[in-house]
Structure 1
């Protein structure tokens, strides 16, 4: 799907695409951090009808809801494309050595060669976590690497 980006001077950016049903949809990302979902009518392609307005926190919530399943799909697709690369999940158990500590404290990538590419915390997904992101009991780490690398991450997290 092609998404076009249009600069709106003084306002922000508008991202547009055409849905499978032929509807032109736009998302206006305002400089203020707010977002607006717009649908354009077939009769006048320049006239957009505002469907939804979101503040940055609401937009983040919608992105997480819509993005979480897609992130898992993309990682699964990635592992199909690269022989020897697999995706795995490792749970941080409450009371674990790393419960309440930053991801970087595990040194998982340098010790195993496997990468933690996301942290799933309840309904929230932290994609591309940084070494400073603090882990919590109940988190599920999405790990990409070899079978041995993922097992190594699991061993590190479980102690």
Structure 2
């Protein structure tokens, strides 16, 4: 487990989920540093299912969302050797209100490309986010008759 005033990173081996919790508003530098720390932890555990809790941050920032979209998220599948699923918990101020989309909302609304290597979904409820991660990250077990 990693913890700082801005960030908590925990790998749950029972769920095989990396949990990244932003604990306060952050700068661009803190965002980049924090996600690099999360990636190092994910590499160590082979975690390709992430729960990112951004609820303690009031608003998304266009520059931060752009860095995630162009520099960080596209490299995850190469770094981790598999498609990465990111469930992002957001406060109500980030959710789609029918007006101009907040940057993180716009990022999540993009249609994933087949070669993108990651899937990002926004949630307002942690239970629903974990259900989605469980559904998309749990390998399908096939029954084969002997």
Same fold judged by TM-score > 0.5? no
Q: Which has the higher contact order (CA 8 A, sep 6+)?
A: 2
- Please indicate the TM-score interval, normalised by the length of the shorter structure: under 0.3
Q: TM-score, normalised by structure 1?
A: 0.25
Structure of higher CA gyration radius = 1
More strand by share: 1
Q: TM-score, normalised by structure 2?
A: 0.27
